[in-house]
A and B are shown apart, each in its own frame.
Chain A
Amino acid sequence: MTPVEAAVAEAYREEWGRVVATLIRLTGDWDLAEECAQDAFVRALEHWEHEGVPRRPGAWLTTTARNRALDRLRRDATGAAKLREVTTLMAADEASPHETGPVRDPVDDSGIDDDGLRLMFTCCHPALSLDAQVALTLRTLAGLTTAEIAHAFLVPEATMAQRLVRAKRKMRNAAIPFRVPPAHQLPERTRAVLGVLYLTFNEGYAATSGRDLTRQGLCAEATRLARTLTRLMPDEPEALGLLALMLLHSARVATRTDGAGDLVLLEDQDRSRWDTDLITEGAGLVEQALRRGRPGPYQVQAAIAACHATAPSHADTDWAQIAGLYGKLHRLTGSNVVELNRAVAVAMADGPAAGLAITDGLEASGVLEGYHLLPATQADLLRRLGRRDEAALAYRRARTLARTDAERRYLTRRLASVEAAVEPAGESVPSGG
């Protein structure tokens, strides 16, 4: 790659979403915006070679894309009315670059990159299906191609193309506004944006055991978008929490599978191979977020991940604090899976009997019926209490409910070990790993 190609590639990663966002605001036409942005990057390859890389690549690209849009509208006979509208908007833009619309609200006041934030909220509008929200975010904000997104979500390219066409059509026909929602809608809509980014990250994370680099790339894209969001919404502690959570998960990604692609439990992971830079940054962000005094599910999950990531070993982990954090998370989310995780942490802090009291309560209430990790956790706690017959029964129950071969293989190994009445070294049920 030549230095200019590298500069264009970097600009693409950093500026694509912003260029598209500004063009959408000016023209109201998502397809035109994408095509003109694409053109601008192609021209950058030629021009930067001769004229050097501009001091502000983003501004150069936006201006070039804007001029391209004007050309296109001029040549298009039906574009005459649109052209007047767009030139008026552009003139207003030049007169005052930050006064970009009638909607002003607190998060807009930073004046930085309003268009990027508008685009993020519009892509994640709840009137669109979640699938469509994710696809639009990756195409329009992150600049992934339709083929790449289709590949990442394991659907045919034609299906993904159709999904994007339908989403853009609905946006136009139903008049989904291109803006940051007003203050009274902001909390709900921010949750939607965070949810889309987290879902995207998890898709990539789930693929990290395989050799599929496109899917794994979703982690990096989601992390980059989360980082952008923390810049655009500096007062939103949940955005910081989400970014921290992603960094802390990423720090351990290399150690979570073995050579054969099987999952390695948290307690068996080689901690010397964890990425300390990511851990330091992630843990710092968690503290920064929690200092705001407005905790939320992402901050608490990140705090739990930070406890694990900064512990010298599995045994020397602050399990009491983790149990407390799971309790907090349960109050925030009402999730019974979180309560199960709390049972595991309580068992580590106060002994298996204390954990078992919680899992027995979950079983009695029936809220996790059919979820294999409930009997698997009970089995593990029973084994540690020396109640091997009951443990074997619970392992069998878990194995019937398990969904993947890897899980069934694992449970079969555990079952064999309690039936042989031999205490295996260093294996237990996954705890948030």
Chain B
Amino acid sequence: MRYLMLICNDETAAAAMSPAEQEQSTARYIDFQQEMGSRGLLEGGARLRPTSDATTVRVVDDEVLTGDGPFAETKEQIGGYYLVDCKDLDEAIEVASKIPHARFGTIEIRPIWEMDMP
């Protein structure tokens, strides 16, 4: 069963971290990825640039409308994601609880809608 884990937190807090704190955070992520990698659960993941670098695109009447910023203004933003393959939701919850940002923000677990391709 595959799940996408969306790492949501207040990106202004992330921007305000000192170099030492950033280093510590990176070390925690390396530990997390090592553990989940060795358990064979990790299929992908990345840290995302802040929403100030985001661009939105919509097509209305065949016209491409491009905008600045994220889709919605919210208190927490998606700062990264992991794609994992777990036995069931309980294992996914366990993995999510070990993502370092689970302590500062929220991890949203979304089951992948698997498509039967012909």
**Chain A interface residues toward B at CB < 8 A:** 125, 127, 173-177, 181, 185
| 17 extra interface residue pairs, beta carbon distance < 8 Å, beyond A177-B88, A177-B89 | A125-B89, A127-B89, A127-B93, A173-B111, A173-B113, A174-B89, A174-B109, A174-B111, A175-B1, A175-B87, A175-B92, A175-B111, A176-B88, A176-B89, A177-B87, A177-B90, A181-B90
Residue of A127, A175, A176, A181 with most partner-chain B CB within 10 A: A175
Nearest CB on A from B114, distance (A): 10
List the B residue with the shortest CB-CB distance to A189.
B90
Q: Roughly how many angstroms separate A174 CA and B93 CA in the complex, as a whole number? A: 11
Chain B residues whose CB sits within 8 angstroms of the CB of A127 once the complex forms: 89, 93
- A-B Cβ contacts below 8 A, count: 24
Q: Roughly how many angstroms separate A176 CA and B91 CA in the complex, as a whole number? A: 10
Query: Which chain B residues numbered 68 to 111 have a C-beta less than 8 Å away from chain A?
Result: 86-90, 92-93, 109, 111
Chain A residues whose CB sits within 8 angstroms of the CB of B93 once the complex forms: 127
List the A residue with the shortest CB-CB distance to B113.
A173
Q: Roughly how many angstroms separate A185 CA and B94 CA in the complex, as a whole number? A: 10
Q: Roughly how many angstroms separate A181 CA and B93 CA in the complex, as a whole number? A: 12
Chain B residues whose CB sits within 8 angstroms of the CB of A181 once the complex forms: 90
Q: Roughly how many angstroms separate A239 CA and B113 CA in the complex, as a whole number? A: 38
Q: List 24 A-B contacts (CB under 8 A).
A: A125-B89, A127-B89, A127-B93, A173-B111, A173-B113, A174-B89, A174-B109, A174-B111, A175-B1, A175-B86, A175-B87, A175-B88, A175-B89, A175-B92, A175-B111, A176-B88, A176-B89, A176-B90, A177-B87, A177-B88, A177-B89, A177-B90, A181-B90, A185-B90
Q: Roughly how many angstroms separate A125 CA and B90 CA in the complex, as a whole number? A: 10
List the A residue with the shortest CB-CB distance to B112.
A173
Chain B residues whose CB sits within 8 angstroms of the CB of A185 once the complex forms: 90
Nearest CB on A from B96, distance (A): 11
Chain B residues whose CB sits within 8 angstroms of the CB of A125 once the complex forms: 89
Residue of A125, A177, A185 with most partner-chain B CB within 10 A: A177
Chain A residues whose CB sits within 8 angstroms of the CB of B113 once the complex forms: 173
Chain A residues whose CB sits within 8 angstroms of the CB of B87 once the complex forms: 175, 177
Nearest CB on B from A248, distance (A): 35
Q: Roughly how many angstroms separate A127 CA and B88 CA in the complex, as a whole number? A: 12
Chain A residues whose CB sits within 8 angstroms of the CB of B89 once the complex forms: 125, 127, 174-177
Pick the 7 closest A-B CB pairs, nearest first. A177-B88, A175-B1, A175-B88, A174-B111, A176-B89, A174-B89, A175-B89
Query: Which chain B residues numbered 1 to 15 have a C-beta less than 8 Å away from chain A?
Result: 1
Nearest CB on A from B28, distance (A): 21
Q: Roughly how many angstroms separate A181 CA and B89 CA in the complex, as a whole number? A: 12
Nearest CB on A from B89, distance (A): 5
Q: Roughly how many angstroms separate A177 CA and B94 CA in the complex, as a whole number? A: 13
Q: Roughly how many angstroms separate A56 CA and B69 CA in the complex, as a whole number? A: 66
Chain B residues whose CB sits within 8 angstroms of the CB of A176 once the complex forms: 88-90
List the A residue with the shortest CB-CB distance to B91.
A177
Q: Roughly how many angstroms separate A315 CA and B92 CA in the complex, as a whole number? A: 55
Q: Roughly how many angstroms separate A176 CA and B89 CA in the complex, as a whole number? A: 5
Nearest CB on A from B118, distance (A): 16
Q: Roughly how many angstroms separate A174 CA and B4 CA in the complex, as a whole number? A: 11
List the B residue with the shortest CB-CB distance to A125.
B89
Chain A residues whose CB sits within 8 angstroms of the CB of B88 once the complex forms: 175-177
List the B residue with the shortest CB-CB distance to A172.
B111
Q: Roughly how many angstroms separate A125 CA and B109 CA in the complex, as a whole number? A: 15
List the B residue with the shortest CB-CB distance to A102.
B87
Chain B residues whose CB sits within 8 angstroms of the CB of A175 once the complex forms: 1, 86-89, 92, 111
Q: Roughly how many angstroms separate A185 CA and B89 CA in the complex, as a whole number? A: 13
Q: Roughly how many angstroms separate A125 CA and B88 CA in the complex, as a whole number? A: 13
Q: Roughly how many angstroms separate A73 CA and B72 CA in the complex, as a whole number? A: 46
Nearest CB on B from A189, distance (A): 9
Residue of B90, B92, B93 with most partner-chain A CB within 10 A: B90
Nearest CB on A from B90, distance (A): 5
Nearest CB on A from B84, distance (A): 12
Q: Roughly how many angstroms separate A181 CA and B1 CA in the complex, as a whole number? A: 18
Chain B residues whose CB sits within 8 angstroms of the CB of A174 once the complex forms: 89, 109, 111
Chain A proximity mask over B21-40: 1 for CB below 8 Å, otherwise 0: 00000000000000000000
Nearest CB on A from B93, distance (A): 7
List the B residue with the shortest CB-CB distance to A126.
B93
List the A residue with the shortest CB-CB distance to B1.
A175
List the A residue with the shortest CB-CB distance to B109.
A174
List the A residue with the shortest CB-CB distance to B111.
A174
Chain A residues whose CB sits within 8 angstroms of the CB of B92 once the complex forms: 175
Q: Roughly how many angstroms separate A352 CA and B24 CA in the complex, as a whole number? A: 56
Chain B residues whose CB sits within 8 angstroms of the CB of A177 once the complex forms: 87-90
Q: Roughly how many angstroms separate A127 CA and B108 CA in the complex, as a whole number? A: 11
Chain A residues whose CB sits within 8 angstroms of the CB of B109 once the complex forms: 174
Nearest CB on A from B92, distance (A): 8
Q: Roughly how many angstroms separate A177 CA and B88 CA in the complex, as a whole number? A: 6
Q: Roughly how many angstroms separate A177 CA and B86 CA in the complex, as a whole number? A: 11
Q: Roughly how many angstroms separate A185 CA and B109 CA in the complex, as a whole number? A: 18
Q: Roughly how many angstroms separate A78 CA and B86 CA in the complex, as a whole number? A: 26
